[in-house]
Structure 1
Amino acid sequence: MGKRIDVKDLNVYYSDFLAVEGVTMTVEPRSVTAFIGPSGCGKSTFLRTLNRMHEVIPGGRVEGSVRLDDQDLYAKEIDPVAVRRSVGMVFQRPNPFPTMSIYDNVVAGLRLNGVKGRKALDEAVETSLKGANLWNEVKDRLKKPGAGLSGGQQQRLCIARAIAVRPQVLLMDEPCSALDPISTLAIEDLVNELKTDYTIVIVTHNMQQAARVSDRTAFFNLAATGKPGKLIEIDDTTRIFNNPKERATEDYISGRFG
């Protein structure tokens, strides 16, 4: 698990609107890459191109290439659903299936993929909940509704659901924005543990969080409202925060805009 992502000359469109322009970057395997930048600069839009989630919006399309190791994710023969199995997503707000138990939430993706054996499902639930640091908190109430957990627990349940299908990459779109500081710390600790097995990309508006959890940081910006978002620079996180190459990056990190 944990594959490399290579993006080259990627333009993201919604119908005729160019939302993100000319992104070229490499996301290293088994590491955490953070996307930072002001609202509306294309961070989340670009993130969704990495597992073709942007295509669920009418008119969503790309030009350029996204490769997972040697596989072109946008090749004609590639099924977008298969891409989303390899590249999982955790969203901004915890979204457990409200009518499902904790157990059924975790195995939902496995069942969709045809896994039926009780032993295999039981093992997947325990492994995934342990992987999300949630097992000890919920092991005695697996049949209780997932929506009955606290916000931080729900987000870890969603992470367990995402890793149950054993993806290569885990995308996180502001996973802590709706959480309290203690739950945020739990998710950050979990991200640091998960990177030993997964390639992780996280969008965050919290620059302290980016500095804490990521190995590399990418700064996105846009020239003006209505203009496309662009990647300004990507580098090791310590260099981005201490000695960025671009003035715009330094201005954003220092709080002079954004």
Structure 2
Amino acid sequence: MSKQIQVSGLDAYYGSHKAIEDVSMTIEPRSITAFIGPSGCGKSTFLRTLNRMHEVIPGARVEGKVLLDGEDLYAPTVEPVSVRRSIGMVFQRPNPFPTMSIYENVAAGLRLNRGRIARSELDGIVETSLKGANLWNEVKDRLSKPGAGLSGGQQQRLCIARAIAVQPEVLLMDEPCSALDPISTLAIEDLMAKLKDQYTIVIVTHNMQQAARVSDRTAFFNLAAQGQPGKVIEMDETSRMFTNPTQKATEDYITGRFG
């Protein structure tokens, strides 16, 4: 399922304001790529361009190319909904559907995408997805209970189960642990390490230790001044980025001298 993403010359705008400029990178399959950098430098904006969620915002637009295994996701013939189906998204705060049970939360995307599904098939996919999100053993006896009744860390894993139920090829995670306690954060990080065997994973994080722990490659975003577009300053293997970055700005950020 895992696929490579190639980005070339990408600019993203909010109306007339250019938020990110000339971003080019390759995101490898079966790996975790982390985006780091100070607030407001365009990390989350760039993440949303990868599954065409950026253009949902009125006045927002993208220039440049995003290729998923060679297919241009912004080609006129490509349906944005199909892109979002193959490139799933997990948000900063857990957002289970509050009126739905744990079971229905996982099944929601499947029902939306495929319409009527045999109950036996749906049962199997829900169980597989919850096991994939390392949540099955904690909830298997209360699948009919509200998803909103779970703890924060469990809710985030429920959202991951919901995302992988539709069998995407890429998982985007926008600061998925920022609202969680350390134990729940560790559970999500362990889960990411397991999921990367099947998916291409891209994560935005402000936690340097987290980026160092979980990612294979890291991209550092920064901007020249407030109001200027964000750019990728450096991208490399995470171990090299955190021990021997080539750019002084990267070293200053990682060591806490700014940002």
Q: TM-score range by the shorter chain?
A: over 0.9
**Code of the aligned partner of 1:247:** K
Matched with 1:215 is: 216
Q: Is the 8 A contact 2:55 2:62 kept in 1?
A: no
1:140 corresponds to 2:135? no
Q: Deviations over 1:166-185 (max 9, x none)?
A: 00000000000000000000
Question: Partners of 1:15 and 1:208 in 2: how far apart?
Answer: 35
Would the alpha carbon gap of residues 115 and 199 (structure 1) be closer, same or farther in structure 2, given more than 3 Å must change?
farther
Question: Partners of 1:116 and 1:28 in 2: how far apart?
Answer: 33
Post-superposition offset of 1:14: 1.1
Aligned partner of residue 13 in structure 1, secondary structure: strand
Aligned-residue RMSD, C-alpha: 0.5
Question: Partners of 1:128 and 1:244 in 2: how far apart?
Answer: 38
Q: Is the 8 A contact 1:15 1:59 kept in 2?
A: yes
4+ long deviations beyond 2 Å? none
Post-superposition offset of 1:116: 1.9
Q: Deviations over 1:84-141 (max 9, x none)?
A: 0000000000000000000000010000012421011101100000000000000000
Matched with 2:86 is: 86
Q: Is the 8 A contact 2:35 2:205 kept in 1?
A: yes
Matched with 1:178 is: 179
**Code of the aligned partner of 2:89:** M
Matched with 2:228 is: 227
Please, what TM-score do these two structures have when normalized by structure 2? 0.99
Matched with 1:243 is: 244
Aligned partner of residue 100 in structure 1, secondary structure: coil
Unaligned runs of 5+ in 2: none
Matched with 1:43 is: 43
Post-superposition offset of 1:242: 0.3
Unaligned runs of 5+ in 1: none
Q: Is the 8 A contact 1:115 1:121 kept in 2?
A: no
Aligned partner of residue 157 in structure 2, secondary structure: helix
Please, what TM-score do these two structures have when normalized by structure 1? 0.99
Q: Deviations over 1:31-67 (max 9, x none)?
A: 0000000000000000000001111100111111000
**Code of the aligned partner of 2:46:** F
Post-superposition offset of 1:160: 0.1
Question: Partners of 2:116 and 2:7 in 1: how far apart?
Answer: 32
Post-superposition offset of 1:5: 0.1
Question: Partners of 1:180 and 1:254 in 2: how far apart?
Answer: 24
Question: Partners of 2:227 and 2:58 in 1: how far apart?
Answer: 19
**Code of the aligned partner of 1:71:** E
Q: Is the 8 A contact 1:35 1:219 kept in 2?
A: yes
**Code of the aligned partner of 1:195:** K
Q: Which deviates more, 136-145 or 108-117?
A: 108-117
Question: Partners of 2:55 and 2:97 in 1: how far apart?
Answer: 22
Post-superposition offset of 1:229: 0.4
* Number of residue equivalences: 258
Matched with 1:54 is: 54
Matched with 2:77 is: 77
Q: Is the 8 A contact 1:221 1:229 kept in 2?
A: yes
Question: Partners of 1:218 and 1:120 in 2: how far apart?
Answer: 40
Matched with 2:205 is: 204
Post-superposition offset of 1:213: 0.2
Aligned partner of residue 162 in structure 1, secondary structure: helix
Q: Is the 8 A contact 1:7 1:67 kept in 2?
A: yes
Question: Partners of 1:86 and 1:190 in 2: how far apart?
Answer: 20
**Code of the aligned partner of 1:116:** I
